[in-house]
Structures are given as structure tokens and as C-alpha cells.
Amino acid sequence: MNDLRFLRSARFNNALKVASVALGLTFGFGVIPAYASTDSNHEQSVDKAQSLTAAQKNEIASKFMAYFPQIKVVEVSETVFEGMFELSLDSGESVFVNKDANHLLVNAKHLKVTGPGQIVDISEQRKSDGRKALLASLNTDDAVIFKGEGKNTTPLYVFTDVDCGYCRKLHEEVPALQKAGIDVMYFAWPRAGMQSNTASKMKQVWCADDQQSAMTAAKTGQPLPEEKSNCNPPIEADLKAGVKLGVAGTPAIFLEDGRQIGGYAKAEDLLKVINAK
């Protein structure tokens, strides 16, 4: 079982219940309240008080991975909450823990109140920064790109599955996105894995001479060209990259700045988000 699936599995869910104290929260994929911070002076004092060395951060990560060896910690970040640290996992997920890594908050969000009715999602901000770097590292030459009109186009990173119903609905919106100057860049994310029929179809799409026509054919149930024997499509590499970005379903849509803007939406609604500052 890979890291992402383990993190979302009943086994991990049950392990968290055993490892964690009852704090009036619902662990796993139930409801967990977001924690909001408002006092900037308190933030500064807590940051100073719990500043950790690299060795101490490594110790926290090691303790967590000893409990959950299936999961790799890639970063330990301090928070404004005294004694609580955010672990960024290689699955793209994050977990909040204490120094001993035996008290955990899963699916929690760290929100900061910046003014009346104004809230910044610190957790999402941190994830966006990491995702921006991951997106920049993707080889766009291997993507199936539906090029937008005009010179100054905007890239839209879409992890897709040709048999996914909402992916097919999103594909119907591509012409409108292209007309608005959006480059729709498709990366492969067969939900059923590399051994699935969907993965085979996606190999045919990526190996086609006309990838755009093949993508449209696959998403409309039309025949596909035979897979070329000398073709090595990036399906598995895309799948792994999606896991690192935190993809859990399709379509998964990202902007160049690292923001994940959800799944299917009509072109006009997507454009509102894309153009929002």
C-alpha cells in the first residue's frame, strides 16, 4: 500500500485513534475544526520559545516515522501553537504533532485571522509553496497540451483519468478555456493504477501521433490508435508526481503558483478563480 493510500486507510485511521488523546475531535476523515490564530504578539513569543534546531526537527520526524514506517516526513515546520509542529509528508498531506509525535491532528487547518472577516489559510499557503516547486519540476514536454489562444497564455495543470466522468465533463470546457488564453496541460493519473485498463488507454493517448485527438477520443468513448511498442509514456511518473502533489481524485487542477483549485467546474467559474489575485 502506498503512502497516500495508507494515510487515508482504515488502518492508519485506527492507528491514529490509538496513538492520539481524545481532544473532542473526530480523527480520520470526519470533522476536525480549523484552528485560528489572532494574536501576533503571541505568535512571535511562541515562535521564539519553541525554535528548534535541525537535529530536534529530525528527532520529531524520526519518532513519527517509527510509529508509521509507511510514511516519509519531508519537512518539520514550527507553528504558532506552543508544542505543536506541522509535518509535511511525501504524499502531499500534512499532520500536526507534538514533540513526541504521539499526539496528532489530522485534517486540521491552521487559519490566521488578519482582520474582521478576513482569514488566511496558513496550511494551504504552505502547501501551495511546496506544490509550486513540484509543478515547476514537471516535464511539460510530456504533457498532452491543449494550447490557449494568444501569446501570453496561462498554464493550467490538470491530472486526469480518461474514464473519470467529471474529467470527461471538464474536457468539454477545454475549448472555452483555450479561447480565454489558457493552456490546458494534461498529466496522467489513472485512478485504478498502472495495471488497469484505464492506464492502458492512457498509454495509447500519450503514444498517439495526434495526442489531442486521441485524448478527445478516449474521453468520448471512441476507438484509440494501437499502442506503439517503442513508446515509453510518462504514465507512472505522472502518477507518482500527482501523489506528491496530494492528488486524491480526478480531475485535480492546479495553478502555476501552487494553488489547487478543486475538481470539475465550468470554464466561466474556473476563469474567475484563475484570474483572481
For residue 227, the model assigns a pLDDT of: 74
pTM of the model: 0.70
Q: Write the single-letter amino acid at 64.
A: F
Question: How many domains does the chain contain in total?
Answer: 2
Q: Which of 26-35, 179-188, 204-213 has the lowest mean pLDDT?
A: 26-35
> Distance of alpha carbon 102 from its chain centroid, rounded?
25
| C-alpha distances out from residue 70 to 3, 30, 62, 77, 188, Å | 6, 22, 12, 20, 24
For residues 169 and 140, the answer to whether their CB atoms sit within 8 Å is no
Q: In the structure grid, which three cell numbers stand for residue 143, read together?
A: 504533457
Distance CA 148, CA 171 (A): 14
For residues 263 and 252, the answer to whether their CB atoms sit within 8 Å is yes
- Which of 75, 105, 125 represents a domain boundary (last residue)? 125
The mean pLDDT of 20-28, rounded to a whole number, is 30
Q: What is the pLDDT of residues 89-113, one digit of tens each?
A: 877 778 999 999 999 998 888 888 9
80 and 160 together in one domain: no
> Which residue segment(s) compose the domain that 12 sits in?
3-125
pLDDT over threshold 60, residue 13? no
Instruction: Decide if 130 is inside a domain.
Output: no
Distance CA 264, CA 250 (A): 8
For residue 246, the model assigns a pLDDT of: 84
Average pLDDT, the chain: 83
Instruction: Decide if 61 is inside a domain.
Output: yes
33 and 108 together in one domain: yes
For residues 18 and 106, the answer to whether their CB atoms sit within 8 Å is no
115 and 229 together in one domain: no
For residues 106 and 16, the answer to whether their CB atoms sit within 8 Å is yes
| C-alpha distances out from residue 32 to 19, 27, 74, 204, 215, Å | 17, 7, 24, 42, 39
96 and 58 together in one domain: yes
For residue 122, the model assigns a pLDDT of: 81
Q: Write the single-letter amino acid at 250.
A: T
pLDDT tier, 50 (very low <50, low <70, confident <90, very high otherwise) = low
pLDDT over threshold 60, residue 276? yes
96 and 141 together in one domain: no
Instruction: Decide if 243 is inside a domain.
Output: yes
Q: In the structure grid, which three cell numbers stand for residue 192, read together?
A: 485504478
12 and 33 together in one domain: yes
- Which of 125, 159, 190 represents a domain boundary (last residue)? 125
69 and 172 together in one domain: no
156 and 121 together in one domain: no
- Which of 125, 154, 179 represents a domain boundary (last residue)? 125
Distance CA 197, CA 194 (A): 8
Q: Which of 46-55, 72-81, 186-195 has the lowest mean pLDDT?
A: 46-55
The mean pLDDT of 250-261, rounded to a whole number, is 93
**CB atoms near residue 198 (< 10 Å):** 21
121 and 167 together in one domain: no
For residue 226, the model assigns a pLDDT of: 80
Torsional sign, CA 104, 108, 112, 117 = negative
Instruction: Decide if 69 is inside a domain.
Output: yes
29 and 79 together in one domain: yes
For residues 64 and 58, the answer to whether their CB atoms sit within 8 Å is no
pLDDT over threshold 70, residue 11? no
Q: Write the single-letter amino acid at 53.
A: T
151 and 117 together in one domain: no
The mean pLDDT of 124-131, rounded to a whole number, is 79
Instruction: Decide if 52 is inside a domain.
Output: yes
Q: What is the pLDDT of residues 150-199, one digit of tens each?
A: 999 999 999 999 999 999 999 999 999 999 999 999 999 999 999 999 99
For residue 230, the model assigns a pLDDT of: 87
pLDDT over threshold 50, residue 21? no
Q: What CATH number is given to the structural domain containing 201?
A: 3.40.30.10
Task: Match 513540484 to its residue by C-alpha cell.
Answer: 134
pLDDT over threshold 60, residue 238? yes
